[in-house]
């Protein structure tokens, strides 16, 4: 892979992590509002900034995903192998982890690490 191609891929990974981190912040607010519900609808945290698909999860499932700064919730088929690895999957959702330059962006933008909520 050329240096230019590598640089473009790393830029794509960073953009994906930024976009997905924004969706994660929305889901943090959803979790706060739904703390007593059995199931709640969270927003798909895929890299498609126009995606607003809902994913039904228990608070425990969401907390499991959020236990790592580099874990994101996406719908099956919304994962992008060039920017993330699948770390868990079931019939309702997929958990992905950023790779390359996206890892640091995901860590830096984790509201639980830098927003005082852990």
Average pLDDT of span 96-112: 92
Count of the separate structural domains present in the chain: 1
More confident residue, 7 or 38: 7
Domain that holds residue 31: 3-114
Q: Confirm whether pTM is higher than 0.75.
A: yes
Query: What dihedral do alpha carbons 35, 65, 93, 97 form, nearest 10°?
Result: 150
- Is the pLDDT at 1 greater than 80? The verdict is no
Rg of the Cα atoms in the chain: 14
Q: List pLDDT tens digits, range 33-67.
A: 776 667 889 999 999 989 999 999 998 899 999 99
């Amino acid at each position: 892979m050329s240096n230019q191609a590598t640089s473009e891929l790393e830029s794509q990974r960073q953009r994906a992590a930024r976009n997905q981190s924004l969706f994660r912040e929305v889901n943090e607010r959803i979790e706060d509002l739904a703390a007593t519900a059995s199931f709640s609808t969270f927003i798909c945290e895929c890299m498609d900034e126009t995606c607003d698909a809902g994913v039904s999860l228990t608070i425990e499932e969401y907390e499991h995903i959020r236990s790592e700064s580099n874990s994101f919730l996406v719908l099956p088929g919304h994962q992008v192998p060039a920017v993330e690895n699948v770390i868990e999957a079931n019939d309702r959702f997929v958990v992905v982890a950023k790779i390359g330059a996206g890892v640091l962006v995901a860590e830096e933008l984790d509201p639980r690490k830098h927003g005082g909520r852990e």
